[in-house]
Amino acid sequence: MTTTRFEDADPELHAFYGDVAAADLQPLWTQHELMPRQPSLGAVPYHWPFTDVEPLMARAGQLVGTDRGGDRRVLAMSNPGLGGEPYATPTLWAAMQYLNPGESAPPHRHSPAALRFVLAGEGVSTLVDGEEVAMCPGDLVLTPSMRWHEHRNDAVEPMVWFDGLDIPLARSLDAVFFEPGPMLAPSGRPPATMRHPWAETDEALRSTTVHRFVADDGRSDVMPTMRCQMHRLAAGTSTTDRAHVGSSVFVVFRGDGSVAITGGRRGDVEAPLRPGDVVAVPSWVEVTWTADDQLDLFEMSDAPVIEALQLDRTAVETPVGTTGSRGDA
Ligand code: GTQ
Ligand code: FE2
């Protein structure tokens, strides 16, 4: 018997629960967290200021070589609602990666899909399936599932960029494979658009406030598990996103302002925003973004998965926070 045994004052019921547990069964009527009234378990709204993250990245750059500590020098955003897991939301891995001049992160491939959003610096390239892809500020660089990749910094300055992957989703589906290099010749697969240069994104944002990055067919999301969008808020404006199913991670590219998130599991969050800041937006919370200066926000979300599973819903009114109405169990 490894399952939970439920107790009861009635000796007959108590004995029954013992026999049920011995058979590795659990009664539905003893499960209280199985189906909450609304998405409210797990991840909390959260903000990681770049002023906290950057110095720690620099220290990692001194202390941990790319030959040590698992090849890639990465610090992952760990959502305090997820019990110490290194995940920003239940489906998304969000991290910062740091590469010193002359360093490289060795070739490998894996089933989780990855994206890089470049915050600053230049001279780093990533090789995807043997093709060299430049990484410049504002660029979105894709490493779809099972593509070989390695990163190199041939410049004179260290470089930091944002990594987004679907690791927690792939793990929860028990679909993770990893293979170390050496990287072989180009795979001969049809070339996907690996790089979405900032100049194109910036151009698109002249006529819209939200630019969705699309695959080569001009319609689909860039990867099956992650939607990527760039938002531009004019200085002095504010916008509110209604609560909806699914989670996102936002990264501030340029500008400053603030974010207010209501309806979260442990109360509301309000934070100032500066370039490089990361914000986790869990399922079913309302978010208000305010731009003091023109604010450019990169967003990755699990929306393609939510939509494919037909779980998408949007609230018609502001959700009521669950704080105080339930424990943290
Ligand atoms: O750069 O290949 O943040 O494999 C996590 C896993 C980055 C990478 C991460 C990875 C990478
Ligand atoms: Fe990787």
Q: Over the stretch 174-205, which tens digit does the pLDDT of each residue have?
A: 999 999 987 666 666 656 678 999 999 999 99
Domain spans of the chain? 46-308
Check the CA dihedral 55-60-63-66 and report its sign.
negative
What is the spatial distance between Cα 289 and Cα 296, in angstroms, rounded to a whole number? 11
* Atom 8 of ligand 1, nearest CA residue: 72
Query: Is any ligand 1 atom within 6 A of the Cβ of residue 97?
Result: yes
The arrangement of secondary structure in 46-308, i.e. its CATH architecture, is: Sandwich (2.60)
**Residue 25, pLDDT above cutoff 70:** yes
* List of residues 6+ apart from 11 with CB closer than 8 A: none
**Residue 321, pLDDT above cutoff 70:** no
Q: Over the stretch 271-290, which tens digit does the pLDDT of each residue have?
A: 999 999 999 999 999 999 99
* pLDDT interval class at 266 (50, 70, 90): confident
Q: Over the stretch 224-259, which tens digit does the pLDDT of each residue have?
A: 999 999 999 999 999 999 999 999 999 999 999 999
Query: Is any ligand 1 atom within 6 A of the Cβ of residue 74?
Result: yes
* pLDDT interval class at 109 (50, 70, 90): very high
Measured CA to CA in angstroms, residue 24 lies from 12, 13, 27, 35, 124 at distances of: 19, 17, 10, 21, 53
* Ligand 2 center–CA 157 separation, angstroms: 22
pTM of the model: 0.93
pLDDT at 112: 98
Q: Select from 104, 163, 249 the residue to mutate for testing ligand 1; criterion: most ligand atoms less than 8 Å from CB.
A: 163
pLDDT at 187: 65
Give the residue carrying structure tokens 């099956």.
224
pLDDT at 104: 87
